[in-house]
Amino acid sequence: MTASNRVPIIGGNWKMNTDRTTGIALAKAVASGVASLQAQGKKVEVAVFPPFVYLPAISETLCAAGSNIALGAQDVYHAEKGAFTGEVSVGMLRDVGVKTVLVGHSERRHVIHEGDDLINLKVRAVLHHAMRCVLCVGEKLEQRETGQTNTINERQVRLGLRDVRPDELDRLVIAYEPVWAIGTGKTATPQDAQDAHRHIRLVLADLFGKDAAAGVRIQYGGSVNAANAKELMSQPDIDGALVGGASLKDADFLQIVSAACGG
Ligand code: PEP
Q: Is 183 in the pocket of ligand 1 (CB under 6 A)?
A: yes
Q: Whose CA is nearest to atom 7 of ligand 1?
A: 244
| E strand or H helix at 144 | helix 141-145
- CA 79 to chain centroid, in Å, comes to 22
197 is catalytic: no
Q: Whose CA is nearest to atom 6 of ligand 1?
A: 244
The tens digit of pLDDT for each residue in 70-98 reads 999 999 999 999 999 999 999 999 999 99
How far does the centroid of ligand 1 lie from the alpha carbon of residue 188, in Å? 12
* CB-CB contact of 111 with 128 (8 Å): no
How far does the centroid of ligand 1 lie from the alpha carbon of residue 110, in Å? 14
How crowded is residue 42: how many other Cβ atoms within 10 Å of its Cβ? Answer: 16
How crowded is residue 136: how many other Cβ atoms within 10 Å of its Cβ? Answer: 26
Give dist(CA 15, CA 29) in Å, integer.
Answer: 18
DSSP designation for 140: -
> What's the confidence (pLDDT) of residue 106?
97
Q: Is the pLDDT of residue 260 over 90?
A: yes
Q: Whose CA is nearest to atom 1 of ligand 1?
A: 244
* CB-CB contact of 55 with 98 (8 Å): yes
Pocket test for ligand 1, best of 177, 218, 219 (most atoms within 8 A of CB): 177
Residue 242: closest CA among 201, 181, 151: 181
* pTM for this predicted structure: 0.97
* CB-CB contact of 75 with 50 (8 Å): no
Query: Is residue 117 packed enough to be buried (19+ CB in 10 Å), middle (13-18) or exposed (0-12)?
Result: exposed
Q: Is the pLDDT of residue 228 over 70?
A: yes
> What's the confidence (pLDDT) of residue 184?
92
Q: Which of 45, 78, 177, 199 is catalytic?
A: 177
177 is catalytic: yes
Give dist(CA 157, CA 146) in Å, integer.
Answer: 20
DSSP-derived 3-state class of residue 102? strand
How far does the centroid of ligand 1 lie from the alpha carbon of residue 67, in Å? 24
Q: Is the pLDDT of residue 3 over 60?
A: no
Give 1's pLDDT tier (boundaries 50, 70, 90): very low
Q: Could you confirm whether domain 3-33+44-98+113-248 is CATH 3.20.20.70?
A: yes
Mean pLDDT computed over every residue of the chain:
96
Give 262's pLDDT tier (boundaries 50, 70, 90): confident
> What's the confidence (pLDDT) of residue 2?
37
Q: Is the pLDDT of residue 247 over 50?
A: yes
Give dist(CA 229, CA 241) in Å, integer.
Answer: 8
Q: Is the pLDDT of residue 4 over 80?
A: no
DSSP alpha helices (H): ranges in 40-115?
A: 55-64, 90-95, 106-110
- Ordered by start, the domain boundaries in the chain are 3-33+44-98+113-248
